[in-house]
Amino acid sequence: MSWANKPAKNLDRRVSLFRGDDALNEIDTENKSIDYDEIESGLKSLLTIDKKEIKSSRRHLQRARGPKRRSRMQQLRILLVLVSVALFVRLFFLFYAVPIAFDWDSYHHWQISYLTLKIGLAHGRMWDLTGMEYFWGILPELLQSFLLWISNSTSIMPFRLFNAVVGSLSSGLMYILVRRYYGAGAGVVASLLTAFNTNLVAWDVSGVNEPLGIFFLLLSIVAYEQKIFLCGLLLGFASICRAEFWVLSIGILFCYLVFKRSVTSFVPAFFGWLTAMAPYLYILQTQAGDFIYPLRWNYLASYYAWTGQQPPLIVLPPESMPYKILWAVILVVSLVYLVKMIKKRPSDHIVRALFVGFLLFQGILFTVSYRYVAWPWTWQWLFSPWSPGGLHDRPWMLDYFFLSTMLGLISYSKTQPGRVGKRFLISRSTILGSIFILMSITWLLAMVPSYEQLSNSPSGIRFWFGMADIVADSYVHGTVITEAPPMVTYQLIQRGVSPNRILGSMYCPKYYGGNENDTLEWFKKQDATWYIHDPGNELFAELKTEGWGPFILYRQYGAFLVYKVDFSNVSHTYQLQFQLYA
């Protein structure tokens, strides 16, 4: 039998011989020569391989790869279903429960984004009416600016829809993470719990920065094991969204050193983080004069009652003591747990480090902070939407991801009594997970009327829209000087007032060492025709009366005073006095 006519089982040998793998086997050890005839015969046989042999080999490979491909397709279908469920819930909540964004910060982020698009970019910087353009992370604001530009819109809705999609994707990432470390069943439960969680749903359809930051954070954990540089890069993106993610991201980077004991993993992860953060730090230094500006102002100002510096820790309001004690306990427990975890180095250390590390950060923050700790406990925390410091507030968003992970793990825990049968175990896990999911759905549905009322309440966001309508109804020309919240700016823009004709009073000379007459001159140069005045800001002491100089009281709206500004209405005597000072 010739070499070319040997059975099909020698196909692999013929292929390897063609590659040269077995060429050395043909060397004549005595004559040190290669049998070229044999190799030539093998090459010819490759050209005459029967088609049945090829099909048979393909079927063999397909059978080997089939289960893995089917498993991947099945997991992909599950993932798509989970993301679709989360997106459906968020879109329903957005259009039915909260068609009007219910929180102030959403409008402030919109204000920064819109004014950056229309004014700031021409000057190479972010823009705001109150000087807070670099207080939060800039990535969500820049993305919102892009959405406003590409949609040719002035509405906050494009970014709210974007956040709904991002929040739904985060729910899908929960399935991937929890399935990887704790099993598919736990992953499904955890994902559905985040899909229906009231806190997450409500803030995912708002205009705040947290949904995008959390998405990047979870995605970085997915990339932690194999895509090290990408993990660092995503952590950098998360840090550009929220100041607290600076601290959390650095902690995750050090997990490569602490748990994996690998400098070769830490270095590329750190450079990935630096790739995203270096331009941001440069912008902060050049535009705000402080490369840690968000950290400084968020945690030394905002969390210390806007004092700009840390107050003495011994000054504690009596009503805050229970919360101080609670957060101190959380701090200690989290620290002890992390220390023990470092010794054991479990395979799921990155998931534990993410959530427990965040609890440690919160424990430190709220133990020494006045924020979210000075209100006595009431049932309103549970049932009232967006009660500051309550269960619906934004600081707990990542904590709810942690809670969902824990409940998913409890639902499909492997530490069950051995005498219980496998079928009963699966049934019991399914029932337990279903109970948790039904509780989450019930809480969400029970809160829909409350959020609907909050969104449409005349004393809520609509109140500020009404203030803007007073000005817009009679606006003809000139500049509106405002001390009102961003919701007023938003409604003025919707009513057709140009963004170049809206200005915050904080830019006037009074805040930078100027006197009253400098401020009046500034009003005149800006062609001010309307002034929305917050009585808490005393630009002019004389405005404690109904009207003064060029300011004509048009209407009192709540605590605010709306003035028409008309310098032609000033008396001749005052004009002479004003010219002397000017």
End residue of a domain, out of 444, 478, 502:
444
Q: What span, in angstroms and rounded, lies between the C-alpha atoms of 41 and 33?
A: 17
pLDDT(487) > 70: yes
Task: Please check whether residues 398 and 292 belong to one and the same domain.
Answer: yes
CA distances from 114 to 98, 489, 531 (A): 22, 10, 21
Residue 301 and residue 153 share a domain: yes
For residue 428, give the H/E element and its range: helix 422-456
Helix (H, G, I), strand (E, B) or coil at 315: coil
> Are 293 and 410 part of one and the same domain?
yes
The H or E element containing residue 256 is helix 244-258
| pLDDT tens digits along 124-166 | 999 999 999 999 999 999 999 999 999 999 999 999 999 999 9
Is residue 60 domain-resident?
Answer: no
Go through the chain and tell me how many residues it has.
Answer: 582
> Residues 326, 433: one domain?
yes
Domain with 393 in it: 72-444
For the segment 75-85, what is each residue's pLDDT rounded down to a tens digit?
Answer: 899 999 999 99
| Helix spans in 32-156 (H) | 36-47, 51-92, 104-118, 139-151
Domain total of the chain: 3
Comparing 92-101, 104-113, 138-147, 291-300, the range with the smallest average pLDDT is 291-300
In the predicted structure, residue 372 carries a pLDDT above the cut 70: no
pLDDT, one tens digit per residue, over 41-71 is 665 565 555 555 655 666 655 555 555 666 7
- Residue 500 and residue 433 in one domain: no
**How many angstroms separate the Cα of 89 from the Cα of each of 150, 173, 380, 417, 456?**
26, 17, 24, 37, 20
User: Is residue 514 one of the residues assigned to a domain?
Assistant: yes
Q: Look at 59-73, 138-152, 432-446, 465-479 and tell me which has the smallest mean pLDDT.
A: 59-73
**Full-model pTM:** 0.83
Q: Which amino acid is at 562?
A: V
d(CA 479, CA 526): 7
119 in a domain, yes or no?
A: yes
Is residue 520 in a domain? yes
- Same-domain pairing of 10 and 78: no
Higher pLDDT, 302 or 188: 188
* Chain position carrying tokens 């747990």: 337
Within a domain: 325? yes
- Let me know whether 283 and 352 are in one domain: yes
Whether 247 and 204 share a structural domain: yes
Count Cβ neighbours within 10 Å for each residue of 79-116 and write b for 16 or more, e otherwise. Answer: beebbebbbebbeebbeebbebbbbebbbbbbbbbbbb
The chain-wide mean pLDDT, for the chain, equals: 83
Residue 67 forms part of a structural domain? no
**Domain identity same for 344 and 481:** no
Same domain, yes or no, for 425 and 292? yes
The reply to whether 62 falls in a domain is no
Does residue 154 share a domain with residue 44?
Answer: no
Same domain, 469 and 437: no
In this structure, what are the phi and psi dihedrals at residue 404, rounded to the nearest 5 degrees?
-65, -40
- Which residues pair with residue 556 across a beta bridge? 561
Does 507 map to a domain?
yes
Write out pLDDT tens, residues 8-40. Answer: 444 444 444 444 444 444 444 444 455 656 666
What average pLDDT does range 367-391 have in this prediction?
64
Per-residue pLDDT tens for 297-353?
Answer: 887 765 554 444 444 444 556 666 777 888 899 999 999 999 999 999 999 999 999
